[in-house]
Chain A
Amino acid sequence: MSNNNKKWFSLNLGRKEKAASGSCSCGKTSGGCGGASNSHHITDEEFDVAAINASIGEERTKDGFEQVFDVKMDRRTAFKKLTASLLIGAGAVSTSCSVISSDENKEKSQIDWEEQFKGNYKLMTDEEKNGTVDRLVRSYQLRTGKTISMSSKNAEEDVLFGYAFNISKCKGYMDCVNACVEENNQDRNSQMQYIRIHEMKDGKGFNFNEADDNYYHEVPAEGHFYMGTQCFHCDNPPCVEVCPVQATWREDDGLVVVDYDWCVGCRYCMAACPYDGRRFNWSKPEVPEAEINHNQHYLGNRMRKKGVMEKCTFCVQRSRAGKNPACVEACPTGARIFGNLLDPDSTIRWVLENKKVFRLKEDLGTEPKFWYFMD
C-alpha cells in the first residue's frame, strides 16, 4: 500500500513499514530473539489471540477469518492450547518486554492493523487492491498454514454480464443451490443461500405468495413449475443508492458487489432490495476448513465476517476468469444461461433477441440483468 496519495484516513500508530526480511531489533531473522525460543513457541498461538485482543479490541478477532480458530483440534493441539493458557501469564511478561513475540506474530498484528484501517476497495488503486489481497492471503496462511488464492481482477472492458433463466426447463432439483453454497463459502450454520427456487402451481401465474421455496418432495411435482430467484444485478440498483458508505456498488461489468470490510452493517440495502437478493451475517459465518473453496476473489467468495452484508456476485471469481457461475455449471437441465450482453454473438444475446423474455417487477425501474423465458 503506497503511503502517498491515499484517499482516506489511515491510522499510523507509530508502526514503521515492515521490512520484507522481517528482523527484529536483536538482528535475528526468525524464531524470536530470546534464547529459549522452543518453550515459547507453544504460546505463540495463544499470544496471537491475546495480542490482537489487546491491540484492536474484541471486535477484530471475531471476523470471518476467526473461523480458523474453530478448526476441530486434535489432541495435540488441544494440549498445546491448554499448556499455552497456563503459560500465558509468564508469556505476557516476556511480550511486554517485546523481545519474545515472534516475527509471525508481529506480522499478524501488523496485517490486522492495516486491514482495520484500510480504505474502501471501490476507491483503491490497483496497487492498493493487490496490497490488501496479499495481506489477506498472508493472514490466512499465518493462521491456518494453508494457502488460498485470492484475485483482485477488475472488470474487463466490453463485458456486461447478463443471465437468463428458462422456467420451462427448471425441474426444481436445487443442484444450483448446493453448488452456490459450496462455491461461495456461505455460512453453514444459518444455512444461508443466495438462490431460492419457487415451486409454483400451474395455471396460477407467477403467484409467489402461494409458491413454496423450501419444498422437500420428489421433483418435478405434478402440476408445478419452478422459478429461481437470486440477486438480479440490477443496472439501476436501489441497494447501491441507499448505502451510506458506498460499501456496495455496481462494477463496470454490471456485477453488484459488496466490500465486506467496508460494510457497516446497517442493512438499509436489504430493506431497499425488491428482490430479496441480499443476505446478512447475523452471527459469525462458519465453514468447515475442509469445505472451504480456496479459489477466491476479494469481492466474491472470500471469508466474510459477522455483521456484514453479502450477496450473489455471479461468482465473480469464476465469471471474470471466463467460467460460468457455479449455479449455471451445476444446473443439470440447462435452465440457466449466462454470458456477455455486449457480445452480439453470445448465447445470452441470442436468447434475449429470439425468445419471449421478461423480468420480475420491471415497473420498479431497477433494470435487472436477469431475464426469464420459456421454451
Chain B
Amino acid sequence: MRRLRVFGSLVKDSLDTITHGSKRYHLWMALLTFVMLFGMYCYSIQLEHGLSVTGMTDRVSWGLYISNFTFLVGVAAAAVMLVMPTYVLKDIDFKQAVLIGEGLAVAALIMCLAFVVADMGGPSVLWHMIPGIGVFNFPNSMLTWDVLVLNGYLFLNITIPLYILFRHYQGKEANPKVYIPGAILSVFWAVGIHLVTAFLYQGLQARPFWNNALLGPRFLASAFAAGPALIILVLAIIRNFTEFKIQDKTIKKIAMVVTVAAQINLIMLISELFKEFYAPTHHSESAYYLFFGLDGKDALLPWIWTAIPLNVLATVLLTFHKLRNNFKVLFFCCFILFIAIWIEKGFGLIVPGFIPGPYGKIAEYTPTGIEIGVTLGIWALGAFVFTILAKTAIGIELGTLKYKKNEGI
C-alpha cells in the first residue's frame, strides 16, 4: 500500500518534471510532437491505402522500416556495454551513464516495436501473434524468438532502472542483491536480442547475401560501436544542457568500447569483402549490386560509398589515443560512425538481400515520402520517450525529485 503511494507520487512528480523546463526544452518537445503527428498522419495514409504507398514491392519486400528496426535492435543491445561494468564490476565510472544507456535501450526498443508494427500489412490482426491468444509459431519461426527476446529485454530495461530510481527517489540505496541478477541476465539477453535478430536474416537459405555465418558476429560488433557512440553523443548533450555531472573519464571509457568494436567491425567487413570479391560466385551478385551496381542499376552506390569512408575514417581516428581523447574529434567520430553504421546495417544490409531477386530480376527500391514520414515520426517518438525518461532519471539522481512523506495523493 505504501509502495503504491510512493509510486503514485513518483508518477506525479515525474509528470510535473517533464512538463516543466526551459524554453529550449519546450521547443524541443513541441518539435518532436509535431514530427510525431506528421508521422501519424503518414501512417494513417498507409493504413488507408495499404503498403502500396511505400516503395516496397514484391521484389524488395522489406525496406526502410525493417532497416531501421535492425539498426535499432543494435542500439538497444549496446546499452549492455555500460550495464556490465557498472553493476557487476563495480566500476563507479559508468554509474551515471548507465541509467542513460538503459533509457536509450528502452527508447530504441519502443522504436523497434513501432517499426515492426508499421511494416505489418494487417496491424488489426496483430493479436494473432500474442502467445496464448493467437498462434505462436515457436520455436520454428525466428520472428517469434525476436518477439520474445525484444519484449523480455524491454521488460528488463524498464524494471532495473525503475527499481533503482524508485529506491533513490525515497532516498534509499538500491539493494544489489535485487538488481544484480537482473543486470547479469540483461547482459546475456542483450547479446541474445542481437544474435536472434541476425538469425532472422541469417537463417534464410533463399537470400545468399544474408545467409552467411559472419552476419551475427558482425551485427554484434557494429551494434557495440554504434550504440555506445550514440550514448557518448547523448551524454555530451546532457552534460551541456543539464546539471547532471558526467566525468570525462566515463566518456573516455565508453570511447574505448566504441573504438574496439569499430575495429572488430572493420576487420569483419574486410573479411566479408574478401570473400565476395576475391572468388566471386553467383551468390556475390548482391554484394556487386551494393558496391558497384548491377546492369546499370546503382541506387545504393551513393549510400554505401558514404558509409564505407565514414566508417574507415572514424575507426582510424578513434584508434589514435590522442585524437580520441580530444572531445571535439571524439564527438565528430561518434557522429560519423553512427551514420555510417546506420547506412551499412540498415539500407546496406536489408535492400541488397533482395536484389537480385530469386530469378535474377532487379527492381530497385527507393523509399517514398510517406515511408520517410512514418520513419521520422517513429524516430521522434523514440527521442520523445528518451527525453521523458532521461529527464525523470536525472531529476531523481540529482535529488531534485524526492519523495515527501507527508505528501498524500
- A–B touch (CB < 8 A): the answer is yes
- Taking beta carbons and an 8 Å cutoff, which residues of A are in contact with B? 8-9, 57-60, 62, 116, 119-120, 122-123, 190, 196, 198, 207-211, 213, 229, 238, 241-247, 261-268, 270-276, 279-284, 305-309, 364-366
Chain B hits for A123, CB < 8 A: 135
Tell whether, in the assembled complex, residue B129 and residue A245 are in contact, meaning their CB atoms are under 8 Å apart: yes
Tell whether, in the assembled complex, residue B47 and residue A58 are in contact, meaning their CB atoms are under 8 Å apart: yes
Chain B hits for A366, CB < 8 A: 205
Tell whether, in the assembled complex, residue B128 and residue A247 are in contact, meaning their CB atoms are under 8 Å apart: yes
A241-B121 contact in complex given A262-B128, A281-B50, C-beta closer than 8 Å? no
Which of B52, B116, B125 has most chain A Cβ within 10 Å? B125
A365–B304 Cα gap in the complex (Å)?
A: 33
Chain B hits for A208, CB < 8 A: 359-360
Tell whether, in the assembled complex, residue A282 and residue B359 are in contact, meaning their CB atoms are under 8 Å apart: no
Q: Is B270 among interface residues, defined by CB-CB distance under 8 A?
A: no
Q: Is B316 among interface residues, defined by CB-CB distance under 8 A?
A: no
A1 to chain B, nearest CB (A): 17
Tell whether, in the assembled complex, residue A270 and residue B61 are in contact, meaning their CB atoms are under 8 Å apart: yes
Chain A hits for B127, CB < 8 A: 9
Tell whether, in the assembled complex, residue A244 and residue B120 are in contact, meaning their CB atoms are under 8 Å apart: no
Tell whether, in the assembled complex, residue B360 and residue A209 are in contact, meaning their CB atoms are under 8 Å apart: yes
Q: Is B407 among interface residues, defined by CB-CB distance under 8 A?
A: no
Tell whether, in the assembled complex, residue A282 and residue B137 are in contact, meaning their CB atoms are under 8 Å apart: no
Q: Is B142 among interface residues, defined by CB-CB distance under 8 A?
A: yes
A306–B144 Cα gap in the complex (Å)?
A: 23
A263–B126 Cα gap in the complex (Å)?
A: 9
A271-B354 contact in complex given A213-B359, A244-B144, C-beta closer than 8 Å? yes
Q: Is B49 among interface residues, defined by CB-CB distance under 8 A?
A: yes
Tell whether, in the assembled complex, residue A307 and residue B359 are in contact, meaning their CB atoms are under 8 Å apart: no
Instruction: Say whether chain B's binding surface is mostly helix, strand, loop, or mixed.
Output: loop
A280-B124 contact in complex given A196-B359, A213-B359, C-beta closer than 8 Å? no
Q: 9 A–B contact pairs at CB < 8 A?
A: A59-B124, A245-B137, A262-B128, A262-B135, A264-B128, A276-B359, A282-B52, A305-B122, A307-B120
Q: Is B51 among interface residues, defined by CB-CB distance under 8 A?
A: yes
A55–B285 Cα gap in the complex (Å)?
A: 50
A190–B58 Cα gap in the complex (Å)?
A: 11
A184 to chain B, nearest CB (A): 16
Q: Is B207 among interface residues, defined by CB-CB distance under 8 A?
A: yes
Tell whether, in the assembled complex, residue B61 and residue A267 are in contact, meaning their CB atoms are under 8 Å apart: yes
A247–B144 Cα gap in the complex (Å)?
A: 13
Chain A hits for B49, CB < 8 A: 283-284
Tell whether, in the assembled complex, residue B57 and residue A282 are in contact, meaning their CB atoms are under 8 Å apart: yes
Tell whether, in the assembled complex, residue A241 and residue B122 are in contact, meaning their CB atoms are under 8 Å apart: no
- Output the nearest chain A residue to B208 by Cβ-Cβ distance: A274
Q: Is B56 among interface residues, defined by CB-CB distance under 8 A?
A: yes
Q: Is B409 among interface residues, defined by CB-CB distance under 8 A?
A: no
Tell whether, in the assembled complex, residue A272 and residue B360 are in contact, meaning their CB atoms are under 8 Å apart: no
Tell whether, in the assembled complex, residue A59 and residue B358 are in contact, meaning their CB atoms are under 8 Å apart: no
Tell whether, in the assembled complex, residue B359 and residue A229 are in contact, meaning their CB atoms are under 8 Å apart: yes
B379 to chain A, nearest CB (A): 21
- Output the nearest chain B residue to A60 by Cβ-Cβ distance: B124
Q: Would you list which residues of chain B between 171 and 211 have a CB under 8 Å from chain A?
A: 200-201, 203-207
Q: Is B353 among interface residues, defined by CB-CB distance under 8 A?
A: yes
Tell whether, in the assembled complex, residue B205 and residue A364 are in contact, meaning their CB atoms are under 8 Å apart: yes
A244–B131 Cα gap in the complex (Å)?
A: 10
Tell whether, in the assembled complex, residue A306 and residue B359 are in contact, meaning their CB atoms are under 8 Å apart: no
Tell whether, in the assembled complex, residue A245 and residue B136 are in contact, meaning their CB atoms are under 8 Å apart: yes
Tell whether, in the assembled complex, residue A275 and residue B358 are in contact, meaning their CB atoms are under 8 Å apart: yes
- Output the nearest chain B residue to A240 by Cβ-Cβ distance: B140
- Output the nearest chain B residue to A307 by Cβ-Cβ distance: B121
Tell whether, in the assembled complex, residue B141 and residue A242 are in contact, meaning their CB atoms are under 8 Å apart: yes
Chain A hits for B135, CB < 8 A: 8, 119-120, 122-123, 245-246, 262
A307–B124 Cα gap in the complex (Å)?
A: 10
Tell whether, in the assembled complex, residue B142 and residue A242 are in contact, meaning their CB atoms are under 8 Å apart: yes
- Output the nearest chain A residue to B142 by Cβ-Cβ distance: A242
A190–B56 Cα gap in the complex (Å)?
A: 13
Of the residues A238, A241, A274, A307, contact of B50 by C-beta under 8 Å: A307
- Output the nearest chain B residue to A305 by Cβ-Cβ distance: B122
Q: Is B119 among interface residues, defined by CB-CB distance under 8 A?
A: yes
- Output the nearest chain B residue to A265 by Cβ-Cβ distance: B121
Of the residues A122, A265, A271, contact of B122 by C-beta under 8 Å: A265
Q: Would you list which residues of chain B between 352 and 405 have a CB under 8 Å from chain A?
A: 353-354, 356-361
Chain B hits for A190, CB < 8 A: 52
Tell whether, in the assembled complex, residue A246 and residue B206 are in contact, meaning their CB atoms are under 8 Å apart: no
Known: A265-B51, A268-B141, A284-B50. 9 other contacts (CB 8 A): A123-B135, A210-B360, A213-B361, A242-B142, A244-B136, A244-B137, A262-B125, A271-B61, A308-B122
Q: Is B62 among interface residues, defined by CB-CB distance under 8 A?
A: yes
Tell whether, in the assembled complex, residue B143 and residue A272 are in contact, meaning their CB atoms are under 8 Å apart: no
A59-B359 contact in complex given A244-B141, A268-B143, A274-B205, C-beta closer than 8 Å? no
Chain A hits for B57, CB < 8 A: 282
Q: Is B147 among interface residues, defined by CB-CB distance under 8 A?
A: yes
A330 to chain B, nearest CB (A): 22
A365–B354 Cα gap in the complex (Å)?
A: 20
A125–B51 Cα gap in the complex (Å)?
A: 33
A196–B61 Cα gap in the complex (Å)?
A: 18
B134 to chain A, nearest CB (A): 6
B132 to chain A, nearest CB (A): 8
Tell whether, in the assembled complex, residue A243 and residue B141 are in contact, meaning their CB atoms are under 8 Å apart: yes
Chain A hits for B353, CB < 8 A: 271
B4 to chain A, nearest CB (A): 30
Tell whether, in the assembled complex, residue B129 and residue A364 are in contact, meaning their CB atoms are under 8 Å apart: no
Tell whether, in the assembled complex, residue B136 and residue A272 are in contact, meaning their CB atoms are under 8 Å apart: no
A274–B207 Cα gap in the complex (Å)?
A: 7
Tell whether, in the assembled complex, residue B359 and residue A238 are in contact, meaning their CB atoms are under 8 Å apart: no
A306–B140 Cα gap in the complex (Å)?
A: 26
A145–B144 Cα gap in the complex (Å)?
A: 42
Tell whether, in the assembled complex, residue A306 and residue B50 are in contact, meaning their CB atoms are under 8 Å apart: yes
The interface bits of chain B over 262-294 (1 if a CB of A lies within 8 angstroms of the residue's CB, else 0) are 000000000000000000000001000000000
Of the residues A196, A211, A241, A307, contact of B140 by C-beta under 8 Å: A241
Tell whether, in the assembled complex, residue A280 and residue B360 are in contact, meaning their CB atoms are under 8 Å apart: no
B128 to chain A, nearest CB (A): 5
B284 to chain A, nearest CB (A): 13
A368 to chain B, nearest CB (A): 12
Tell whether, in the assembled complex, residue A274 and residue B128 are in contact, meaning their CB atoms are under 8 Å apart: no
Report the 3 A-B pairs with minimum CB-CB distance, sorted nearest first: A265-B121, A307-B121, A209-B360
B197 to chain A, nearest CB (A): 13
Tell whether, in the assembled complex, residue B122 and residue A307 are in contact, meaning their CB atoms are under 8 Å apart: yes
Q: Would you list which residues of chain B between 286 and 323 have a CB under 8 Å from chain A?
A: none
A248–B305 Cα gap in the complex (Å)?
A: 39
- Output the nearest chain B residue to A245 by Cβ-Cβ distance: B128
A261–B52 Cα gap in the complex (Å)?
A: 19
Chain A hits for B140, CB < 8 A: 241-242
- Output the nearest chain B residue to A206 by Cβ-Cβ distance: B359
Tell whether, in the assembled complex, residue B356 and residue A209 are in contact, meaning their CB atoms are under 8 Å apart: yes
Tell whether, in the assembled complex, residue A264 and residue B358 are in contact, meaning their CB atoms are under 8 Å apart: no
